[in-house]
C-alpha cells in the first residue's frame, strides 16, 4: 500500500487565495490549451536531455525512484504554469508539503513530471509527463506526453481528445494533431491494458473472470492513451495509486468518449487532501456501457 505522501508533495499555492478560478470560466482555460501543451512538451524535452545512466537515481520511502529528470521536468512545468495562470495552485509528486484543507480551492493542477521513472531508468520508452487541471474535484483538462515515443495526447472535457506529434528539438513544438476516440466494446473481445510493474493480485483475479482476448502490457499513463485511441478496451487497477498518476488520463479518456470509475461505479473526485491524494482503485473503460456491465458484475473486494 502506498504511504501517505506528506514528504513528497509540493503545494505551490500557499500564498494564493482559495477562490482562484482561471478567470472564472472554462473558456480561458481552453484558450491556453496550446500554451499548456507546449509547457508539457518542454518538460518532455528536459527529460530527454538527461542520460538515465547518470540521472542521479534515489529511492524514496515508498521504494519508488526519483531522478534529475523528474526534477528538471517539474521545474519546467511549475514555471510554465506560473506564467500562464499566475497563482494556480499545483500539487506535484516530487516535492514537499501538504496544503491546508481550506486552501486548495476549486481550481488546481495535478502534476506528475515523470510517470514511469523505472521505465526511464531501465531504458524503456514507456514513461510520460502528466498534467491535469481540476475544477471542483473534476479533472477538466489533461495532457500526457511520451517523450521517447514522440507522441502527446490531450483532452478537454466536452471538447474531444487528440493525439499529437512531439518534436523535442523544437522547444516544446508539436504538430500532426488528429482526433482520437475510444471504441465501442466488441462482445467477447476485450483488449486489456495492464501495468508492467504494478499488476496486483486483485486486478489479475478480475482479468481471469473476463473474456480477455488480448493483454497489452505497458508502463505509466500510456495505458489511458491506449484506451482513449481505441487500442484497448479496459485499463483496470485495483491497487492504490495517487491522483497525479491518473487525473490527466481520466479527462483524456472522458474527452475521447470513455469513462473512469471507482469499482463501485461512482466517479473519481480529485483534491482528497485527507487521504493524501491517494486513489484506492479504479477502472478505465473505452465503452461506458461495458463499464456498467463489469461494475454490476462485481470487481472483487473493492467493489463491495
Q: What mean pLDDT is predicted for residues 83-103? A: 75
Tell me whether domains 10-179 and 190-297 share a fold: no
Q: CATH second-level architecture of 190-297? A: 3-Layer(aba) Sandwich (3.40)
Rounded Cα distance between 147 and 138, Å, is: 26
CATH of 10-179, one of 3.30.540.10, 2.60.40.10, 3.40.50.300, 3.90.420.10: 3.30.540.10
pLDDT of residue 18: 38
CA-based Rg of the chain, rounded to a whole angstrom? Answer: 18
Cell (9 digits) for 132: 491535469
- Cα→Cα distances 77→58, 85, 90, 152, 213, Å: 21, 12, 10, 15, 39
- Convert the pLDDT of each residue in 191-217 to its tens digit: 999 988 777 888 888 988 888 999 999
What global pTM score does this model have? 0.89
| pLDDT band at residue 69 under the 50/70/90 scheme | very high
Query: Average pLDDT for residues 23-34, to the nearest whole number?
Result: 80
Q: Where are the domains of the chain?
A: 10-179, 190-297
Predicted confidence at residue 188, as pLDDT, reads 83
Q: How much is the average pLDDT of 292-296?
A: 79
**Mean pLDDT across the stretch 273-291?**
93
What's the burial of 32, exposed, middle or buried (CB within 10 Å: 0-12/13-18/19+)? Answer: middle
Task: Please check the confidence at residue 26 and state whether its pLDDT lies above 90.
Answer: no
Amino acid at each position: 500500500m502506498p504511504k501517505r505522501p506528506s514528504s513528497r508533495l509540493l503545494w505551490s499555492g500557499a500564498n494564493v487565495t482559495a477562490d482562484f478560478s482561471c478567470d472564472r470560466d472554462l473558456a480561458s482555460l481552453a484558450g491556453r490549451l496550446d500554451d499548456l501543451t507546449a509547457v508539457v512538451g518542454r518538460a518532455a524535452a528536459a527529460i530527454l536531455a538527461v542520460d538515465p545512466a547518470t540521472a542521479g537515481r534515489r529511492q524514496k520511502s515508498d521504494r519508488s525512484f526519483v531522478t534529475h529528470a523528474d526534477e528538471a521536468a517539474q521545474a519546467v512545468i511549475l514555471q510554465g504554469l506560473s506564467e500562464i495562470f499566475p497563482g494556480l495552485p499545483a500539487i506535484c509528486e516530487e516535492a514537499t508539503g501538504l496544503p491546508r484543507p481550506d486552501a486548495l480551492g476549486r481550481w488546481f493542477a495535478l502534476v506528475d513530471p515523470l510517470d514511469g521513472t523505472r521505465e526511464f531508468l531501465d531504458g524503456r520508452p514507456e514513461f510520460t509527463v502528466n498534467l491535469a487541471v481540476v475544477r471542483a474535484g473534476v479533472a477538466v483538462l489533461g495532457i500526457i506526453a511520451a517523450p521517447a515515443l514522440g507522441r502527446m495526447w490531450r483532452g478537454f472535457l466536452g471538447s474531444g481528445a487528440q493525439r499529437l506529434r512531439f518534436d523535442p528539438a523544437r522547444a516544446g513544438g508539436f504538430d500532426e494533431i488528429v482526433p482520437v476516440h475510444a471504441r465501442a466494446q466488441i462482445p467477447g473481445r476485450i483488449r486489456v491494458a495492464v501495468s508492467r510493474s504494478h499488476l496486483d493480485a486483485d486486478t489479475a483475479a478480475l482479468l481471469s473472470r473476463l473474456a480477455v482476448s488480448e493483454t497489452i502490457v505497458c508502463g505509466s499513463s500510456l495505458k489511458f492513451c491506449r484506451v482513449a485511441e481505441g487500442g484497448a478496451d479496459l485499463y483496470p487497477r485495483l491497487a492504490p495509486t495517487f491522483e497525479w498518476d491518473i487525473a490527466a488520463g481520466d479527462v483524456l479518456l472522458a474527452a475521447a468518449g470513455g469513462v473512469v470509475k471507482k469499482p463501485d461505479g461512482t466517479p473519481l473526485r480529485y483534491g482528497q487532501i485527507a487521504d493524501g491524494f491517494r486513489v484506492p482503485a479504479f477502472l478505465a473503460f473505452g465503452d461506458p456501457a461495458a463499464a456498467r456491465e463489469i461494475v454490476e458484475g462485481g470487481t472483487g473486494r473493492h467493489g463491495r
